[in-house]
Chains A and B, each alone.
Chain A
């Protein structure tokens, strides 16, 4: 089944499920993306920039509490007018009543392509830089001309893939290990930052962040693993040796452009059982339903740390476990090659 032709509804039909919250979140995300594109088009961005959105909009998981994490991505010569454009985007989103990004400063401003491409690893690769870079790869969508956005993603992938070719293997499609290591590093960074925020903010909002860490952030990590593993020639097919590097780059790019939930569903559809599908997408559907319910969302947000008897928290904790078990079953029990790659590259 071709990834571009696949829809989550096909998996839902096969598993005898409907997953209404997932479908609604996808539809709402598409509507908001269209609206935001119209807003940004009014600003007439120059050809060397792209207005890029991250988060729930890019994941196609828009719920009532969603904000718009955005950046003005600059890929060209420095120009003082870029600052004006970033402010114009900010004002336009405010005028249209969109929630502003969180307070970390990672989003809601401009970012340049050079740091994203050249500062991978090493002392200059800050927490903010790796966050922007990995989310650009795994969880971003263009709100303006997609060309500068895609150009930067490809330049980053070029660093990972063509900048770090295998030392001995013949040219073929393979798991890009440099990229995989960075994705694993980012997932662990998110987990550590969760603990840091919990400490710094005296547990405020911890339960909601905990649920997001164990569901949407974990889904993103799963997408990152799949983006790498599905580049293996068993899944991606054989390449022309003369263009194998570029074929790998293009294949990895195509996978990166697929929303996480869509890529996970496609993988489950092709390689896993209906039971795995029900476990993963049933739990995720209920998670999104909770996020889309203002009362429940606020309840989680305000929950005191240590409220072990809270019914909603315990309900969410069970969803977290179901989702984790579904991922375990997919990566370790569903497909021989996927299990091999997970063991070979995902653990040691």
Chain B
């Protein structure tokens, strides 16, 4: 299996990141995996803030504007004289991701900022700061939650 992971890297038709990039790992593992019960979730609060934020960004008007920008940008190089069909054909041939790449993907970038942000204490907006700062509390929460747990047990059983 390990050999498969290495061998496939030469395949040029799909992207197969090894090792996985941070963005891939964020998407792969956040919100996933075993969660035991409410009291363990206490230690996960900071992470959940990140994912919720990302979804809000995706759903916003911002998305429309980004796509409008990307679409508008297309005609900038259309003015160079090539017709639309011709360009479509040459796109298909070279398979380039092209100049509009990067206009979109804001949410993922945002997640990356949050995750990386804790090293340089960035506080560009309230939510990312919160996400990072909530982490220190979580370890205390684990032990205090354990105490709370005994009082919750009656309800749960």
A binds B: no
